[in-house]
Copies of this chain bind each other. A is one copy, B any other.
Amino acid sequence: MTDSGLRRELQDLPRTDPAVDQLVEEIIGRVADKWTMLLIEILTERECCRFGELAKACTGISQKMLTQTLRAMERDGLVTRTVYPVVPPKVEYRLTELGLGLSKAFCGVWLWAEANFETIDRARQDYTARQEAGQV
């Protein structure tokens, strides 16, 4: 059995318009991003987060990329940004319905990663070993 056309099978839709394909690919390009996905995950677990919390929870991200990614997510309607006019400043981020939908969709990838991280680790070791063996 072949897995060709897997996506088409699953969605059971009439052939997609090429122009739509382009839009969809653009969205995948924006959304298939390390920080976006990590932030979505964090915002799914703790549904409401301040900027500083996100900075701590999202290991390795710089303030700049955090701001930048959150802005892009807000622009795409994935999160809402609520500014409380208090001092010190307080800004809360929360997933929208749309963002939650993406979270659920991406959930499968987290499960895949958790189920297969050992396999991947082994693959990397094998690859490195083959590399070293090859260049002798």
Using a CB–CB distance below 8 Å, which chain A residues touch chain B? 2-8, 10-11, 13, 16, 20, 22-25, 27-29, 31-34, 36-38, 41, 44-47, 59, 74-77, 98, 100-114, 116-117, 119-124, 126-127
- A114–B23 alpha-carbon span in the complex (Å): 9
Q: How many copies does the complex hold?
A: 2
A5 and B45 contact, CB distance less than 8 A: yes
Interface of A, helix, strand, loop or mixed by DSSP: helix
Residue of B nearest to A47 (CB): B4
A108 and B105 contact, CB distance less than 8 A: yes
A31 and B106 contact, CB distance less than 8 A: no
Contacts of A126 in B (CB 8 A): 77
- A125–B136 alpha-carbon span in the complex (Å): 58
Which residue of the partner chain, among B6, B29, B36, B120, contacts A44 with CB atoms under 8 Å? Answer: B6
CB distance from A27 to the nearest CB of B (A): 5
- A116–B104 alpha-carbon span in the complex (Å): 14
- A117–B77 alpha-carbon span in the complex (Å): 11
B2 and A47 contact, CB distance less than 8 A: yes
